[in-house]
A and B are shown apart, each in its own frame.
Chain A
Amino acid sequence: MKSFGVSTHPIDLAAFRKQLQDRSCGAYVQFDGWVRDHNEGQQVLRLEYEIYEPLAVKEGNRIITEAVERFAVSNACAIHRSGLMGLSEVAVVVGVSSPHRGEAFDACRYIIDQAKVRLPIWKKEYYANGNAEWVNCQRCAHAV
């Protein structure tokens, strides 16, 4: 099982985990990204993710394929939420199963790190003071 998806509804983590079950695998690593109540000194009330789905899915699947080939894991999947979300909701989930744990940890890390810098996904934070801002990932920005 190798796939990247986008969901407008809460992610069913039990179903997600189940699709990665594999009798030839002895290790399963899962990363959940949660909606946090603060960022850079501001109190966050909720988040909105905007995703350009056609390209996010295409590029997301490329990242999954790279991880499977590079780390020789058996299965890898990820789902990213889009739309409005409350605190503590799961914004993104990455799961990897493989015969042994080392490559599963490495592949999981690779997928979430690449997803953060390569996918057309934007995050708007809504603050307790009434303001809302698109969050810039400065590390990923390149001046034209």
Chain B
Amino acid sequence: MKVKVRYFAAFREAAGTETETLETAAVSPAELFVECAKRHQPLQKYSASLVAINDEMADWEALISDGDEILFFPPVAGG
């Protein structure tokens, strides 16, 4: 299936891109992040903290579907 991935802040700089569309067999955001870190080596030094699917906060083990947009958020630091 095909999914869209978006990277933010430190992840965007590590991946060298803000968005990409991927063909993947990953079933969860956790699996997908591991795949993305293989494509973009600098991502491997990070542990992702939060993830969203189609603009809703999601669980790392949630099921992803064809056409979903997965948002990977590095550790947040508001305030």
A residues near B, CB below 8 A? 33, 49-52, 54-55, 58-59, 80, 91-92, 112, 115-124, 134-138, 140-144
Contact = CB atoms under 8 A, between A and B. Distances in A.
B57 A80 contact: no
Interface centre among B13, B49, B71 (most CB of A within 10 A): B49
A49 B78 CA distance: 8
B9 interface: yes
Interface of B: 8-10, 13, 30, 33-34, 47-50, 52, 55-57, 60, 71, 73-79
A38 B13 CA distance: 24
B9 A122 contact: yes
A29 B50 CA distance: 30
B78 A119 contact: yes
Interface centre among B10, B33, B34, B56 (most CB of A within 10 A): B10
Contact of A137 (B34, B60, B75): B75
B78 A121 contact: yes
Contact of A123 (B13, B55, B78): B78
